[in-house]
């Protein structure tokens, strides 16, 4: 097999989100979705599935993979908060999605497009709209509404979310929500959504090491690399180790390996493992820096890094305790009276850490660094920081 240099170029140029080119694993998460689809067939309400977790844990790529492997029966329609302003806005988006997908997903999507389109041309109430669809529902077909960045929903979307929760679309429907670790908190704060089903939430975390290796095996096969079985397996295990089990880091490691394979024209024997490791680590470090690109964190990055390290090492259970830790580190850095920090609302530093996906909080485990390996990076950054850049604890800048 000839080395696929064109694919190698695409691997290097791909964005690091939305879709996983070499998807592997996540069997439990896929099973939870399939359960929701079966439940939707027995329910008049839309079935909620919330996939939540830290940035880079693979939520959006999982949704894309589900669309790829389950679109034969279910029509997948991407929605945003604007489509949740009214029943008409939502149904119009379903109609658009059905038309767009009808030619590729078969008769079910075409039939849904016909039914929804017919009713859209008739002026009616939202209830009549759903009743009309219910009377003409498509056998063995349904709709998956995918809302990404679902942690950003607010009360303005509450009415239609409640309608989906209590009344549904009129045909089998799953509301697939992907967002950061506080997505459930945001949703249940909306009146009428406080009692979602016990299996509605899927907390996503790290992948198993062999899942990372399996993804890389798929990459090597599709690239048509030159090497024996042992060399391929060694490369897969190397990338798995560099990924720390985290999907976004897996992408970094695969990009790093792809760069080396381009240099060697696909010959695994000539790949320099140290170069792969260095490139992978640098991409990972750059990602951490990007995650901290926020005004609250940027005034003194060392303060944020110390908070990350302390959250990893200390038993912080609640947001108030996290807020106390933030205030403690700001004071020790001599910044408590800084005009910028004085403008931050009480608890704002801690809340920003959660809202930006740096820290996650769960009832079972309390506060944790959302991306596990980020704490090691922050500690190493503080240890290697030049003395001139450090602020003494308890002293002024």
Q: How confident is the model at residue 185 (pLDDT cuts 50, 70, 90)?
A: confident
pTM: 0.84
**b/e map of 213-246 (b: 16 or more CB within 10 Å)?**
bbbbbbbbeebebbbeeebbeebbbbbbebbbbb
User: pLDDT digits over 230-289, tens only?
Assistant: 999 999 999 999 999 999 999 999 999 999 999 999 999 999 999 999 999 999 999 999
Q: How confident is the model at residue 118 (pLDDT cuts 50, 70, 90)?
A: low
User: pLDDT digits over 59-99, tens only?
Assistant: 999 999 999 898 877 889 999 999 998 888 888 888 788 87
User: pLDDT digits over 323-372, tens only?
Assistant: 999 888 988 888 778 777 777 777 888 888 888 889 988 767 788 898 88
Angstrom distance (rounded) from CA 59 to CA 53: 7
User: pLDDT digits over 228-243, tens only?
Assistant: 999 999 999 999 999 9
Res 110: pLDDT: 65
**Which is higher by pLDDT, 296 or 203?**
203
Query: Of the candidates 52, 63, 56, 54, which has an alpha carbon nearest to the alpha carbon of residue 17?
Result: 56
Res 65: pLDDT: 94
Q: Phi and psi (nearest 5°) for 199? A: -105, 20
DSSP string, 328-350: HHHHHTT-TT-HHHHHSPTTHHH
At residue 368, the 3 state secondary structure works out as strand
Residues 6+ apart with CB under 8 A from 116: 91, 94, 95, 98, 133
Q: How confident is the model at residue 141 (pLDDT cuts 50, 70, 90)?
A: low
Residues paired with 178 in a beta bridge: 51
């Amino acid at each position: 097999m000839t080395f696929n240099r064109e694919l190698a170029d695409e691997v290097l140029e791909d964005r690091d989100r939305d879709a996983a080119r070499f998807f592997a694993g996540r069997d439990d998460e896929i099973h939870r979705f399939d359960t929701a689809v079966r439940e939707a067939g027995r329910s008049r309400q839309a079935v909620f599935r919330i996939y939540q977790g830290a940035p880079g844990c693979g939520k959006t790529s999982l949704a894309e993979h589900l669309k790829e492997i389950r679109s034969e029966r279910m029509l997948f329609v991407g929605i945003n908060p604007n489509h949740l302003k009214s029943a008409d806005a939502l149904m119009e988006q379903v109609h658009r999605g059905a038309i767009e997908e009808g030619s590729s997903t078969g008769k079910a999507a075409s039939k849904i497009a016909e039914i929804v389109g017919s009713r859209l041309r008739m002026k009616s109430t939202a209830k009549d709209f759903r009743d009309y669809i219910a009377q003409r529902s498509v056998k063995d077909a349904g709709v998956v509404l995918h809302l990404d960045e679902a942690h950003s929903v607010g009360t303005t979307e509450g009415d239609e979310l409640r309608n989906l929760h209590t009344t549904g679309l009129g045909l089998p429907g799953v509301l697939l929500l992907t967002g950061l670790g506080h997505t459930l908190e945001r949703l249940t704060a909306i009146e009428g959504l406080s009692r979602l089903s016990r299996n509605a939430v899927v907390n996503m975390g790290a992948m198993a090491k062999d899942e990372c290796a399996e993804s890389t095996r798929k990459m090597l096969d599709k690239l048509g690399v030159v090497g024996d079985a042992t060399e391929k397996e060694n490369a897969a295990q190397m990338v798995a180790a560099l990924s720390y089990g985290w999907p976004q880091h897996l992408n970094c490691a695969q990009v790093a390996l792809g760069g080396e394979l381009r240099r060697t024209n696909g010959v695994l024997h000539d790949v320099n493992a140290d170069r792969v490791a260095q490139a992978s680590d640098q991409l990972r470090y750059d990602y951490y820096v990007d995650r901290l690109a926020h005004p609250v964190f940027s005034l003194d990055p060392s303060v944020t890094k110390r908070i990350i390290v302390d959250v990893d090492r200390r038993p912080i259970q609640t947001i108030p305790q996290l807020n106390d830790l933030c205030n403690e580190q700001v004071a020790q850095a001599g910044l408590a009276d800084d005009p910028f920090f004085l403008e931050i609302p009480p608890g704002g530093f801690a809340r920003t850490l959660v809202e930006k996906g740096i820290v996650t909080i769960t009832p079972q485990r309390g506060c944790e660094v959302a991306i596990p390996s980020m704490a090691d990076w922050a500690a190493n950054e503080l240890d290697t920081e030049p003395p001139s850049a450090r602020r003494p604890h308890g002293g002024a800048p």
